[in-house]
Amino acid sequence: MWDPTQYTRFRDERKRPFFELLSRVDAESPSHVADLGCGTGDLTRVLSERWPQAQVVGVDSSVEMVEEARRRPASATVRFEVGDLADWRPERPLDVLVSNAALHWLPDHATLMGRLVAKLAPSAVLAFQVPANFEAPSHRLVDEARALPRFASKLAPVRRRPVETLERYEALLSDAGLSVDAWETTYLHLLPGEDAVLQWLLGTTLRPVLAALGDEEGRAFVEELRPRLRQAYPAQARGTAFLFTRRFVVARRGG
Ligand SMILES: C[S@@+](CC[C@H](N)C(=O)[O-])C[C@H]1O[C@@H](n2cnc3c(N)ncnc32)[C@H](O)[C@@H]1O
């Protein structure tokens, strides 16, 4: 379902929130670090540069992403595993657990938070970032196209994203005994190229939709969406303006 080339097309825009998340992680010398939903592993390698003494594991359910991650050079302390975050278990409790732009693919975040906390060592840090732009025109237009009679029944099983509010994440993690730092940022991206917002969505949001529709219907879906997105996000000489909100949570166990 995942296509590493399409995903990395907007690499700089997608990378920045990770660094902003990481800048709030206060961990001196962790031994075991995991990057859940690591994709092509570029950011997993950054974790190993920040903590060169740590064993760092990147986990992703996409074989294509993990193969791409393994192809790229990395230090001997980094390894990549194919695994589903729904049931992945670390070999040892983790000192730092990072997840950038991945947890929104998993359902039921109340249960998920409990499962993530259970993987942590005492004093460990859990840090994640999830998109929160589900009310943006881009997502409303995807929903509008999903509801067209031609696509609706095939797309009914494709879930919408289960991201919680900052207050809810704070409450869930505080109740589990962690101290929480949570915030939200809206980025104004100026995306280069033609049909830039469509290209962005093709790297992420539309992956499960197109996988469910198959080739021919998938192409028809994209052609329904293209003019809607062009109208909502007109291209300008300096790029297509695309507002994108993300939620960030950094929580420390026993803090
Ligand atoms: C938007 S990409 C983010 C990749 C990377 N963290 C980054 O920031 O560049 C989301 C990743 O989550 C992975 N993913 C989605 N659902 C997953 C699951 N249930 N278990 C493991 N990985 C999952 C996808 O395969 C994809 O590589």
Ligand 1 lined by 43 (C-beta under 6 Å): yes
Ligand 1 lined by 252 (C-beta under 6 Å): no
Amino acid occupying residue 76: A
Nearest to 191 by CA among 139, 137, 241, 232: 241
- Chunked in runs of 10, what are the mean pLDDT values of the chain (255 residues)? 68 88 96 97 95 98 95 92 95 97 93 96 97 92 94 87 93 97 96 94 90 94 97 95 97 84
In ligand 1, which atom is closest to the CA atom of 2?
A: 25
Ligand 1 lined by 9 (C-beta under 6 Å): no
Q: 55 φ, ψ to 5°?
A: -85, 125
**Rounded (10°) angle between helices 206-213 and 137-146:** 10
The residues pairing with 240 across neighbouring beta strands, listed in sequence order, are: 191
Ligand 1 lined by 106 (C-beta under 6 Å): yes
User: Burial letters for 86-120: b for 16+ Cβ neighbours within 10 Å, e otherwise?
Assistant: eebebeeebbbbbbbbbbbbbeebeebbeebbebb
Nearest to 175 by CA among 187, 167, 183: 167
**How far from chain centre, in Å, is Cα 134?**
14
Ligand 1 lined by 33 (C-beta under 6 Å): no
Ligand 1 lined by 84 (C-beta under 6 Å): yes
User: Burial letters for 34-59: b for 16+ Cβ neighbours within 10 Å, e otherwise?
Assistant: bbbbbbbbbbbbbbbeebeebbbbbb
Question: Which residue is closest in CA terms to ligand 1's atom 9?
Answer: 39
What is the 205 CA–ligand 1 centroid distance (Å)? 12
Domain 4-253 homologous superfamily, CATH: Vaccinia Virus protein VP39 (3.40.50.150)
Q: Return the number of other C-beta atoms located less than 10 Å from residue 31's C-beta.
A: 14
Nearest to 101 by CA among 35, 190, 55: 35
Q: 95 φ, ψ to 5°?
A: -90, -30
Residue 158 pLDDT: 82
Amino acid occupying residue 90: P
Residue 4 pLDDT: 67
What is the 131 CA–ligand 1 centroid distance (Å)? 12
**How far from chain centre, in Å, is Cα 80?**
17
What is the 174 CA–ligand 1 centroid distance (Å)? 26
Q: Which of 6, 10, 14, 38 to mutate to test the pocket of ligand 1 (most atoms within 8 A of CB)?
A: 38
Taking the CA atoms of the chain, what radius of gyration do you get in angstroms? Answer: 19
Question: Which residue is closest in CA terms to ligand 1's atom 13?
Answer: 37
The residues pairing with 248 across neighbouring beta strands, listed in sequence order, are: 129, 183
Amino acid occupying residue 126: L
Question: Which residue is closest in CA terms to ligand 1's atom 4?
Answer: 39
Q: Where are the domains of the chain?
A: 4-253
What is the 238 CA–ligand 1 centroid distance (Å)? 30
What is the 201 CA–ligand 1 centroid distance (Å)? 14
